[in-house]
Amino acid sequence: MLLAPLTLLAVASVILGDFNVIHTTDTHGWLLGHQKLSFPEPDYSGDLGDFSSFVAHMKQIAIEKDVDLLLVDSGDLHDGTGLSDGFPPGGVDAHDSNKFMEMLPYDVMSIGNHELYIYADTLDMYNNFIPNLHGRYLSSNANITVFNEEGEPVSVPIGNRFTKFTTRKGRRVTSLGVLYDFTGNDVNTTVQFVEDMVKEQWFAEAIAEEPDLFVLVGHMPVSYDHWPTVFDAVRAVHPLAPILIFGGHTHIRDCQQYDGRSMALESGRYMETIGWIGADLDAAKGNANNISFTRRYMDQNRVTYEYHTGQSNFTFDTSEGRNITYGLQELAVAFDLAYMYGTSPQDYTINENPYPSNGSLLSLFIEDAVPVALAINNTRASIPNIMITNSGSQRFNIFAGPFTKNDQLTASPFTDSFLYIPNITFGVASQVLPALNQAGADERRKRSEWDTELWAKGYVDMRFRAWREEMDRRAGISRRESQNLTLGYVTQDGCPGAGDDTLHTPLPYYSVPDFIGSNNPNVTDDTPIDLVFVDFIETQLLGILNGLQSGKNYTSADVDLYSPILSNEALGLYAQAMWN
């Protein structure tokens, strides 16, 4: 449902080729859309029911125009909002919300890294979700260990390694579903590196026969990753076959063309963006000419959908779309996602306001919320302390108005524990945060290695924030010249022509440090204090601490649990205490 009036300044209607694809990726449970009134949230206020109606209308238009239209998804259905994560004890992440994804007519879906962090989630997908895709859910390089009929453990593909099918117009399609080189998967799951996957016999057999086109769908960025490895392997066998690639994972809008007969698209995050590729395949059939492609990044809202389908607010909804919307709303009630912790007095953002500042979510979290929450029933609360966490612990902004269970799960989802080392003198402890953020050459090298490790385990914020920062840098004076536009994404990618479907002025962007800390206590340098930090950064912090003093070599044996309260509980406890 549209929550605020939108002015749609579209470049033009999507251009239908004779072959077209609608693309989603990294939906992360945002199936009821973005429901806050602060921009750019209304730009993304459509829900999965609205999207279902859009797809149905576009499918009908494709039939009337006598062209092909597919619907594909590149993974990460889990982890992001209360609809996926707010299940009661004994439940499984996204088990209930995924039932609504099943109602969409996806032609191909692929696995994401968030389907692999917890074995129970992977097993639930294997048993309850994937069978509904009838061989079209792909996990080319990801396996799960299950018991066979003899009760023996066997490693098998989570979905299919590949699929081949024929479109309504008779085009023969070969699809694979590739996951990037992910190392953070749970026990009893495996991920094969992409460069090894393309050497497998099954891969050679899958691509041996030339189809009318390849549709490669996978949870892997289309820039600076291993899609070219897959592309080159296919292109070596089929020099002229059309290749469409649909990537994901970095949460950005991106497009690349690896040659003139291919296009690779990545379509954002959190049900903010719906991707579109149109291709004129018939004109390039039987020759070596470049293929004519178009691509669009559509803001996910009813105004966009009605514009492109030629429907009005009264004719747009399909019965299936309405049923999905109502079902999701009932699930939100069942999970008690509207439970209010308090009322936020203003917007708090991660990057749209400087850190530190009164509008910074990072300042709110580490300077206000964490100290209040960790003092609850804590016998050490009276001892001066410094508290440190990583800025990536906060995943989404908080907006003015009701702060609910869903908002808490969305803004601060990570279940990090707070640890501490006692009796660190303030003079030493106060240097830890600056040293973490301003490490010397050796520590920078270690941090680079840590960033590489984090990337392999699924951390994408460094890519997403770099994209946002570059967008803000490019804006320059144009931001002042486009005050009549709403805030949103302004994309510059590697493909020709316009990509964004709706014109926006870019969001302001302020960089943030990797690590953030609470306000220093008013004590002297020789005062012993508690150094409190999240378990996620324990290894790095110990290394820094040992480099700042020589009196003791600190190890994990010196670290204790500071509080049973987890990081994802802090904002809710603070709101209950301070926003009521």
Quote the strand ranges of 78-141, DSSP E: 108-110, 137-138
Q: 376 CB contacts (<8 Å, ≥6 apart)?
A: 563, 565, 573
Structural domains of the chain in order of their starting residue, each with its CATH number? 19-334 (3.60.21.10), 340-462+511-578 (3.90.780.10)
- Rounded Cα distance between 317 and 304, Å, is 13
- Rounded Cα distance between 503 and 518, Å, is 39
Could you give the count of Cα atoms lying within 13 Å of 217 in the half-sphere of its Cβ? Answer: 35
- Strand 273-280 vs strand 19-24: parallel, antiparallel, or unpaired? antiparallel
CB atoms within 10 A of CB 576: 15
- Rounded Cα distance between 500 and 506, Å, is 12
Are 424 and 531 in contact by the 8 Å Cβ rule? The answer is yes
Q: What pLDDT does 356 receive?
A: 97
For residue 406, give both structure tokens.
Answer: 């869903």
Quote the strand ranges of 317-434, DSSP E: 340-344, 385-390, 401-404, 418-425
CB atoms within 10 A of CB 102: 12
Q: What pLDDT does 442 receive?
A: 60
Are 241 and 210 in contact by the 8 Å Cβ rule? The answer is yes
Question: Could you list the mean pLDDT of each consecutive 10-residue stretch along the chain, which spans 580 residues?
Answer: 49 84 98 97 98 98 98 98 96 98 98 98 98 98 96 97 98 98 98 98 98 98 98 98 98 98 98 98 95 97 96 97 98 98 98 98 98 98 98 96 98 96 98 87 63 89 94 75 82 94 94 96 98 95 96 97 98 97
- Rounded Cα distance between 64 and 62, Å, is 5
- Strand 243-247 vs strand 262-267: parallel, antiparallel, or unpaired? parallel
- Rounded Cα distance between 117 and 113, Å, is 7
For residue 235, give both structure tokens.
Answer: 């292109």
**Amino acid at the residue 420:** Y
- Rounded Cα distance between 327 and 309, Å, is 24
- Rounded Cα distance between 59 and 65, Å, is 10
Q: 284 CB contacts (<8 Å, ≥6 apart)?
A: 242, 261, 290, 291, 292
**Model pTM?**
0.95
Q: What is the CA 84 to chain-centroid distance, rounded?
A: 13
Q: Starting from the edge strand earliest in sequence, which strands make up the sheet with 142-147, in order? A: 153-157, 142-147, 189-191
Q: What pLDDT does 2 receive?
A: 42
**Amino acid at the residue 552:** K
Are 352 and 394 in contact by the 8 Å Cβ rule? The answer is no
Residue with tokens 């492109």: 308
- Rounded Cα distance between 260 and 313, Å, is 40
CB atoms within 10 A of CB 478: 12
Q: Is 26 left (phi over 0), alpha (psi -120 to 50) or beta?
A: left
What's the Cα-to-Cα distance from 515 to each of 22, 362, 430, 546, rounded to whole Å? Answer: 38, 10, 13, 18
